[in-house]
Structure 1
Amino acid sequence: MTDTSRGTSAKDEGRPLRRDAALNRERILQAAHEIFGRRGLGVTLDDVARHAGVGVGTVYRRFPTKEALVRALFEEDLKRRQEVAEKALSNPDPWEGFVEFLVSMTGDLAENRGLHEVIMMGSHSSEPIERARGGLRPFLGELVRRAQESGQLRPEVTPSDFPVIAHMLSAATQFTQGERPDIWRRYIEILLNGLRQRPEDPPLSTPSLTDDTVEQVMGFRRPPAAE
């Protein structure tokens, strides 16, 4: 990468891009979404450039590092996940709201390997991404609380169970090696049947992971407290 490409990127910042530059940026983001989704975050900017059909210099002018591209792609995606959670909380039926969020979130993670790595594994983290990741937890806790208070979700279930569930569903999708990317839908139906409270069901005998263990495994860094 040359000093010229760095300078161009800095000069573009804070002002509207020309139409051709804006189209290139969108093409790069779309290509990154597709290739990160299929192959994860191990791909290079050269890989993204080839997939987008642009020169690698064009990618570097818009995104001087892979971390900058990851931030641009996934910060917005994480914001959309919070919007889904807010919509689920507004559902008057606590169980339906819980299922709505769980299906949407786990489906995205199962079908998008890059998003899975950003949310579940702390890959290519940044302060805005950390805040967005951490911001999902209160929504999940409230969805669980509402569904349990309505008597529809097993009382032993905790929010820390859901990162494990997301990993399980993602593993099911990867197991098919692209043959059945939708297979997670079958297994979430099985899981939801197990999560739903029924009077005849025996209690779960194995405790869930602690929040500290989940945060350690997921690579969470708590955002600094606001002053």
Structure 2
Amino acid sequence: MTESSRPSDPAEGGRPLRRDAALNRERILHAAREIFGQQGLGVTLDEVARHAGVGVGTVYRRFPTKEALIRALFAQDLRIRQEAADRALAHPDPWRGLVDFLTEMSADLAENRGLHEVLMLGAHTSGPIDSARGGMLPFLEALIRRAQESGDLRPEVTPADIPVLQHMVYAAAQFTRGQQPDTWRRYLEILLNGLRRRPGDPSLVTPSLSNAMVERAMGITRAEETPPRTTKSVPHES
């Protein structure tokens, strides 16, 4: 996953870790970020330990399950995404702010298979991760609203379009990886040109997906959407 601009919180159970334990935790997170980014989330904790150069027991003491490790990495990635959104919202040019945000996010996803699987495919899901992924929606709504109010972004564009476009850029990155790894930037430029509003452009005919449809495609399941369990009645023996 993406390298954080801040160190992770070296504490467990509210107590600071010893220096050697904190260093081991950072080493594990760094190794996991690299190997998940290269190979995806199918990597085991044993493989993470080998990549980090620490014993398997050390990994399991810091992260008893792979879900706990993924949550720690994703928390860092989400913080980076939120910081990027804040910078974009503060940019004096609404269109430039949106472009910067989409370009930074595209770069992260294009170069990081594990992050793509968590964000876009629901390959590893849990309540906290689903809530965090869904929590980016207000940032997208604000960025899109600003760019539309400034007259730079097509009025038909919705927040639900953005994850689909990001998935398209990731597919381009995978398709060209063995030839020219940065070619995905060309296709992002083409998409951005299509998003920009210009006088005389015909309106988009096909409607966008709803936010709920995109969340289902991304594997996000809201607690209230979980169907209740039904129990079969068992006839009493006479």
The answer to which of 122-131 and 33-42 deviates more is: 122-131
Per-residue CA deviations over 1:174-215 (Å, capped at 9, x if unaligned) read 113454332221111111111111113222222211222111
For 1:20-39, what aligned pairs fall within 5 Å after superposition? 20-39=20-39
Secondary structure of the residue that 2:110 maps to in structure 1? helix
Q: Which residue of 1 aligns with 2:78?
A: 78
Contact (CA 8 Å) 2:125, 2:220: kept in 1 or not?
no
Q: Which residue of 2 aligns with 1:63?
A: 63
- TM-score normalised by L of structure 1: 0.87
In 1, distance between residues paired with 2:178 and 2:25? Answer: 28
Q: Give the Å deviation of 1:26.
A: 0.8
In 2, distance between residues paired with 1:166 and 1:138? Answer: 17
Q: Give the Å deviation of 1:171.
A: 0.8
The amino acid that maps onto 2:189 is: E
Secondary structure of the residue that 2:202 maps to in structure 1? coil
Structure 2 unmatched ranges of 5 or more: 1-11, 225-238
Aligned: 1:92 with 2:92: yes
Secondary structure of the residue that 1:204 maps to in structure 2? coil
In 2, distance between residues paired with 1:72 and 1:24? Answer: 14
Q: Give the Å deviation of 1:117.
A: 1.2
The amino acid that maps onto 1:49 is: A
Per-residue CA deviations over 1:53-78 (Å, capped at 9, x if unaligned) read 11212111111111111011111211
In 2, distance between residues paired with 1:93 and 1:156? Answer: 20
Q: Which residue of 2 aligns with 1:110?
A: 110
The amino acid that maps onto 1:45 is: L
More helix by share: 1
Larger Rg: 2
Against the structure 1 CA distance between its residues 135 and 223, is the aligned structure 2 distance closer, same or farther, given a 3 Å change threshold? farther
In 2, distance between residues paired with 1:59 and 1:191? Answer: 42
Count of residue pairs the alignment pairs up: 213
Q: Which residue of 2 aligns with 1:14?
A: 14
The amino acid that maps onto 1:56 is: V
Secondary structure of the residue that 1:132 maps to in structure 2? helix
Secondary structure of the residue that 2:135 maps to in structure 1? helix
Contact (CA 8 Å) 1:40, 1:113: kept in 2 or not?
yes
The amino acid that maps onto 2:166 is: A
Secondary structure of the residue that 2:125 maps to in structure 1? coil
Aligned sequence identity (%): 70
The answer to which of 175-184 and 23-32 deviates more is: 175-184
Q: What's the C-alpha RMSD, in Å, of the aligned pairs? A: 1.7
Against the structure 1 CA distance between its residues 178 and 73, is the aligned structure 2 distance closer, same or farther, given a 3 Å change threshold? farther
In 2, distance between residues paired with 1:57 and 1:220? Answer: 32
The answer to which of 212-221 and 13-22 deviates more is: 13-22
In 1, distance between residues paired with 2:16 and 2:100? Answer: 37
Aligned: 1:44 with 2:44: yes
Q: Which residue of 1 aligns with 2:197?
A: 197
The amino acid that maps onto 2:126 is: S
Structure 1 unmatched ranges of 5 or more: 1-11
Contact (CA 8 Å) 1:78, 1:129: kept in 2 or not?
no
In 1, distance between residues paired with 2:108 and 2:177? Answer: 17
Q: Which residue of 2 aligns with 1:216?
A: 216
